[in-house]
Chains A and B, each alone.
Chain A
Amino acid sequence: MTRVPLRPLARILEARAHGGDPDAIERENKQRRHEEMRDRARLRAEGRLLVLAAMFFCAFVTVGVRMGMLSSSVPSEPRAYAPGAQISQTRADIVDRQGRLMATNFVTHALYAEPPNMVEPAHAAAELARIFPDLEEDKLLALFTGPRKFLWIKPQISPEQKQAVHDIGEPGLLFGPREMRLYPNGPVAAHVMGGARYGEQAVQAAELIGVAGIESAFNDRLSDPARAGEPLMLTLDLTIQAAVERVLAGGMTVMNAKGAAAILMDAHTGEIISLASLPDFDPNDRPSPLTTGFDPSESPLFNRAVQGVYELGSTFKIFAAAQALEMGLVNPNTMINTRGPIRWGKHRINDFHDYGAELTVSDVIVRSSNIGTARLAQQIGAANQREFLDRLGFTKPTAIQLTEASGSQPLLPSNWSELSTMTISYGHGLSASPLHLATAYASLLNGGTRVTPTLVRTGPVAPGPRVVSERTSAVARDMLRQVVASDHGTASFAEVAGYQVGGKTGTADKPKPRGGYYDDKVIATFASVFPTNDPKYILIVTLDEPVVTILNEARRTAGFTAVPVAAEIIRRVAPLLGLKPEIEQPGPLGVTLTAN
């Protein structure tokens, strides 16, 4: 038992001494303390009750004021609001190197239905099926009378269609404004633009997402609201792109090719002025990829210039010649044994024509001798060749800013043997994209500094690391010029008056899917540089399975197919590029002074 102290002790002791009742004193004391405590508690409670009353009163007044504010605000059509992140509708424009519009946004409407609000679902379904022939009335009616409260009908409709739907007068059919991605140039530069689709959709807005090409590679940059007002400037030139595509399409028809690709690159900066792949598509209405029973590389969506990995044939020969020059193994006039065929195990290396016992290095290139090039490659050696091709960029996918580029890993021989060295020297046994070839030609011929291909203007580009010496580069250009200018050259059709075109043809038999090569299917390539005295531009033209009948003879070699197409492209675009033709002056005009 706890003992409670006796209080007040003095009085109790006194009472005890005088025989009084200490309990009564204690009770009285307790009673008094109790009363005091209650009084204290009551006073405190009085204050706190007042506080509580005031707080509740204020709270009620707050609710009342807020009600009043809400009631007096104008009822407006509630605006859409998605919890969390607001859908960013803005997407920056894309322009060409002169600021001309290549992709922009355009306000359009999506059509959706709220079946619970529908008055005449049957009528609405019938009218919709009439306005949009791809919709089926039965399915629409089933949806409108089903349990769904909300359904999208069309992601974007034209103003005429919107008016027609509006005229149905059905309150359950509604429009959600949204921006669509518009490519005002249609299919021009389709593979670079790629295309866009809707991502997250709300009633009042929809997010645009790039699906391919530059739209996909720069999706974050384009959809960044902070940079929405700042267009993305490409290195493409819209006029030149259109001209290249038009000439290439004509050439593809004339040469009966099933596909074609062209790349026009600034030789010093790696900027791509034009990149075309045919057949193409309209990014405004991007076709869905065919998934079955179809070779994806035959699809219009396939970017042959970037994704297509081909054996590029004799265009590679200049690399062997340049490397041999750079290593000091030969000079342009060194005689090379071209007696063939070279037998290597069960393989034989042959030339298209028999060029006799010996040719100079220059003539090996000009006449395109496989045997001569293979001899050069033997002198160079596998390791050196591999290292050189690596410096030119042939061992890695290109760094171009297209999502498709990451898939363009060149096909290298699994075992880089001496035989591989010899076949690679004339462009067989190593597959790479036309863009790889353009990059390598630019690096080799611009004076010898490595370029990185780019599609986006970022200001002045510093020259890359040196690949070959200026001198080797100049000699290589001279050899390529001879290929075009010389009587024996394989690319004599490439001569364009006023522009010193140099280049190398390449005709590679297409590999069969199950091994071996077709006899009658080739990839014809012409890799060119112009003007050769002051290298400014690299042009690669590739035709897939071209065949042209000349004098009752089917011609497939690049000299008859890719070269004329490339020459026509240069003829068209060189003036657009601002290149001044060098016309030989016929001497000073004879002035006859006459005097009366």
Chain B
Amino acid sequence: MTEMVYGVAPRQAKDPILPRWWRTIDKWSVSCILLLFAIGILLGLAASPPLAQRNGLDPFYYVERQLMFGFLAFIVMFATTMMSPQMVRRLGVLGFLAAFAAIVALPFFGTDFGKGAVRWYSLGFASFQPSEFMKPVYVVVIAWLMSASQEIQGPPGKTMSLVLTLVIVGFLAMQPDFGQSALILFGWGVMYFLAGAPYILIVGAAAVVVAAGFVFYENSQHFARRIDGFLNPEVDPTTQLGYATNAIREGGFFGVGVGEGQVKWSLPDAHTDFIIAVAAEEYGLVLVMLIIALYATVVVRSFLRLINERDPFIRLAGTGLAAMFGVQALINMGVAVRLLPAKGMTLPFVSYGGSSLIATGIAAGMLIAFTRTRPQGKIEDFLRQRGHG
């Protein structure tokens, strides 16, 4: 009757966007990311004034910039979290084409800022590192290719993804940027593992890596010296690593106190690669443990949420993003505590850096978007099995 009188009520096909967004995102991960950013600003207040002073700028110049870029990054991140996986995939593929073109064009239009490696585009007010933006969109494209290969009569996606990866790694190694190359290769490995790499291949690859390491160690003096230097329990106190190790020791459990740290005055990379040493010195083990816990929460929660995910693309892309996010943090902190040989790698959301922050925002946004709770067709499964059963 009612319908006859008033007409059919406009049926709400979906929930309202924001409430559904709020209901489905992983609020724990989002909180962790926000906290990490806040810690990054806190540490920036401690670590960046020496750099600003060296460059003759206002003491909190870099903090202000970080806040500005952080604001941008969060807009991008929250916008990304609201997208559907299909949307992320489409934009991701487009973004990949743009980032790839940017990397290819780097040798012609890029600048090295006097650091010996052509990795940046100078935009005047800021610089832009295409390889940072490459990471999230690369994961999306590889996940797309791999999931396509899981269709019957689908394209040979795994082979294509490997070829694409090697091309990108080749371009990155040309810059040269071995850190990002290694990260890209690691991301591919994780996704390939998840997409069903045979265990024998994994064990074989590990054996080859170990064997190659030994061969290099025996034959290359440079390599052997770096490994020896890493394995040696004594660290040359005049290197960055020496300063960082000493700073962590000085900090102890509760730190030497806000603003009392010394390491930021000696380390040129105190605000980026060795920010964890500043954190350990000024705020002690307590803050460091909090930071580690935050990263671990984001990564492990993402993995656990993705276990329930049925869409191969979402599963692969989410895993790749979480793994790269986690491993970047692990490498950064592992270097500072001498678990890993020295390699420059920023701490996501905490280290200073404009383009890196926005790129990390995009990656985190994608990760949140992929780990949103969504219907997983369990009922259909049940019905299907009943029907067949």
Contacts and interface: CB of A to CB of B under 8 A. Distances in A.
Contacts of B152: 30, 33-34, 37
B196 A83 contact: no
Contact of B190 (A33, A52, A78): A52
User: How extensive is the interface on chain A, given as a class?
Assistant: 35 or more
Contacts of B310: 38, 42
A554 interface: no
Nearest to B147: A41
Interface in B242-269: 242, 245-246, 248-253
B61 interface: no
B337 A37 contact: no
Nearest to A60: B296
A48 to B, nearest CB: 5
Interface stretch (A67-75, A162-170, A275-283, A566-574): A67-75
A81 B339 contact: no
A63 B337 contact: yes
A49 interface: yes
User: How extensive is the interface on chain B, given as a class?
Assistant: 35 or more
A56 B323 contact: yes
Given A64-B289, A66-B339, A70-B248, A49 B307 contact: yes
Given A70-B249, A75-B249, A78-B237, A52 B303 contact: yes
Given A34-B152, A67-B292, A78-B242, A46 B307 contact: yes
Q: Report which residue of A66, A79, A80 has the largest number of chain B beta carbons within 10 angstroms of its beta carbon.
A: A66
A41 B315 CA distance: 11
B312 A79 contact: no
A60 B330 contact: yes
Interface string B316-345: 000100010011001001100111000000
Contacts of A42: 310, 312, 315
Interface string A440-456: 00000000000000000
Contacts of B248: 67, 70-71
Nearest to A62: B339
Interface in A445-489: none
B334 to A, nearest CB: 6
B337 to A, nearest CB: 4
Given A66-B339, A83-B225, A75 B246 contact: yes
A498 to B, nearest CB: 65
A118 to B, nearest CB: 15
A507 B317 CA distance: 100
Contact of A56 (B280, B296, B338, B388): B296
B295 interface: yes
Interface in B277-332: 280, 284-285, 288-289, 292-293, 295-296, 299-300, 303-304, 306-307, 310, 312, 315, 319, 323, 326-327, 330
A45 B292 contact: no
A80 B237 contact: yes
A66 B225 CA distance: 23
Contacts of B246: 75, 78
B150 A71 contact: no
A52 B319 contact: yes
Contacts of A59: 326, 330
Interface stretch (B67-75, B119-127, B226-234): B226-234
A38 B337 contact: no
Nearest to A65: B337
A84 B190 CA distance: 36
Contact of A79 (B195, B196, B234): B234
Contacts of A62: 339
B255 to A, nearest CB: 9
Contact of A72 (B252, B292, B330, B334): B252
A38 B150 contact: yes
Contact of B151 (A34, A60, A74, A78): A34
B151 to A, nearest CB: 7
A84 to B, nearest CB: 6
A60 B292 contact: yes
A68 B292 CA distance: 12
Contacts of B193: 48, 52
B153 interface: yes
A352 interface: no
Contacts of A71: 248-249, 251-253, 280, 284-285, 288
A30 B337 CA distance: 53
Q: Report which residue of A45, A57, A66 has the largest number of chain B beta carbons within 10 angstroms of its beta carbon.
A: A45
B384 interface: yes
B96 to A, nearest CB: 23
A201 to B, nearest CB: 14
Contact of A49 (B194, B327, B388): B194
A48 B151 contact: no
Contacts of B288: 64, 67, 71
Contacts of A33: 152
B144 to A, nearest CB: 15
A41 B252 contact: no
B64 interface: no
A568 to B, nearest CB: 59
A220 interface: no
Given A38-B310, A45-B194, A56-B323, A63 B151 contact: no
A10 interface: no
Given A63-B339, A67-B280, A83 B323 contact: no
B280 to A, nearest CB: 7
Nearest to A74: B249
Contacts of B150: 37-38, 41
B112 interface: no
B58 interface: no
Nearest to B288: A67
A175 B334 CA distance: 34
Interface in A71-102: 71-76, 78-84
A23 interface: no
Contact of A63 (B232, B234, B292, B300): B292
Nearest to A81: B234
A83 B229 CA distance: 6
A67 B337 contact: yes
A528 B299 CA distance: 93
A78 B235 CA distance: 8
A63 B334 contact: yes
Interface string A13-57: 000000000000000001011110110011011101110110011
Contacts of B235: 78, 81
List the 8 closest A-B pairs by CB distance, nearest first.
A78-B237, A53-B303, A75-B249, A81-B234, A60-B296, A71-B285, A66-B337, A70-B248
Interface of B: 150-153, 190, 193-196, 225, 228-229, 232, 234-237, 242, 245-246, 248-253, 280, 284-285, 288-289, 292-293, 295-296, 299-300, 303-304, 306-307, 310, 312, 315, 319, 323, 326-327, 330, 333-334, 337-339, 384, 388
Interface of A: 4, 30, 32-35, 37-38, 41-42, 44-46, 48-50, 52-53, 56-57, 59-64, 66-68, 70-76, 78-84
23 contacts: A34-B151, A37-B152, A45-B307, A49-B303, A49-B306, A49-B315, A53-B303, A56-B327, A57-B300, A60-B292, A64-B288, A67-B289, A67-B333, A68-B289, A70-B249, A71-B248, A72-B252, A72-B253, A75-B246, A75-B249, A78-B246, A81-B237, A83-B232
Given A60-B330, A64-B288, A76-B249, 7 more contacts: A49-B304, A63-B292, A64-B292, A75-B249, A78-B246, A81-B234, A83-B228
